[in-house]
Amino acid sequence: MNDPLTSHPGMKRGQRYGLRDGFFYAVSQGGGESYLSAFALVFHATPLQIGLLSAIPQTLGVWAQFISVWLLHRLQARRPVILVGMVAQMLMWGPLLALPWAFPAYGPWLVIGCALAYFTMGHIVIPAWNSLMTDLVQSHHWGSYFSQRARVMTVTQFLALVGGGVLLHWAEGMGRPFIGFGVLFLFASAARAASALMLARVDESVVPILPKLDISLLPSRQWIHSKNFVKFLLFSGSFHAAVLVAGPYFVIYLLQDLQWSYLEYTGWLASGVLGQILTFPLWGRMSDRYGNKALIRWCGMFVPVLPMLYLFHTAVPYLVIVNFFGGVLWSGMALGLQNFVFHAVPREDRAMGIAVYNTANGLGWFAGAMAGSWLAMVLPNHAVIPIVHISLTTSLPLVFLVSGFLRIIVLWFLGDSFTEPQSREIRQAAS
């Protein structure tokens, strides 16, 4: 039996605008956010500064999600909260570009500071956006709809990445990187403005009104005390920590240690996005059919191998292929983790559930990035591994190796500690 709400023209229209929002946001991500670390390296950012650029905006920014939750329940509306965050992000691209060039001696720190403001505004958007979109889409279609949106975003992000890389390669050849980054960040700002325009057209009146949030009652919510959800948060936060031991430092390894051009670096980035494009429909169907825990388990089995493969060769085609399979696996992992939260938390608390989930990940993000920065400084710059005949001239491949082992440890001890949310199990049994 069809839910009459899903046939409402306003809900269908809202879903279409949600896809268009994803398209424009992906332009901002692919042509702007993806090159922030490369931009910081123009000002000779150190591994510590690259780690902070990755960790601080995400870690401190997630606390803005609790402000977002409070605002959207106080205002009884999600769209105003979303639009304020998006417009603020649009405006931040200007100082992010201009201030480091105006004061190059403090360039990396200014990039970090502006990125903190930018991502904080983005985090304000997240709970309200998730709350709105999960009301516009029936729960048993979440896997297919959000995988479709993710595919639209990854295709667009792929094209924006390639276009951005070609532009930076041209600017680098002309000896004027400022022009390349300036054009990229201008397009990123315009794309975020277009994304806001799309969501401004969503009719929020076609979805149920949010109930009033009584903060004093939150500690009594069943899902907060659920051992299953707590174990899931521990797994997700720990896994993000293990991943971020390596994640921020690939850009340094490729651009500085291996002396790749921007074009080669773009090819590496784009291969990961291409892997996502080709597999999102598959992961969406698997999520709807077999559940998100199964999706997390299947993808998680292979994710630890990815950083270890960087020890065996430095050829551009080899590392591009490795990152392609990274995109394949991470697209499924990310979809499974996100949809697990949607099913584990009741509708009226979903925005808060997303904020709690992202806070756990943010803490793991910070811990992992800082651990990776420390390891990059203390591990030897020159090493020979005789058993597999590997000779290293930088410490970063050893950092990647540690990240792989940490992922195995997290999966071994925490991967089976949580189960599929009960609401999902009931729905699967009934289907």
| pLDDT interval class at 427 (50, 70, 90) | very low
Token look-up 């930018």 returns 118
Q: Where are the domains of the chain?
A: 7-203+226-430
CATH topology of domain 7-203+226-430: Growth Hormone; Chain: A; (1.20.1250)
* CB burial of residue 7 (10 Å; 0-12, 13-18, 19+): exposed
What 3-state DSSP class applies to 233? helix
- Reported as a single tens digit per residue, the pLDDT across 16-30 is 888 899 999 999 999
- Reported as a single tens digit per residue, the pLDDT across 146-170 is 778 877 887 898 899 899 999 999 9
- Whether residue 425 has pLDDT greater than 60: no
What is d(CA 195, CA 200) in angstroms, rounded to the nearest whole number?
A: 9
Residues 59-65 have a mean pLDDT of: 80
What is d(CA 204, CA 221) in angstroms, rounded to the nearest whole number?
A: 26
Residues 218-245 have a mean pLDDT of: 83
55 vs 220, more confident: 55
- Reported as a single tens digit per residue, the pLDDT across 393-412 is 788 999 999 999 999 999 99
**Joined tokens for residue 133:** 């979109």
Which of 60-64, 264-268, 427-431 is the most confident on average?
A: 264-268
- CA distance from start to end of the chain: 12
- Whether residue 342 has pLDDT greater than 90: no
Taking all residues of the chain, what is their mean pLDDT, rounded to a whole number?
86
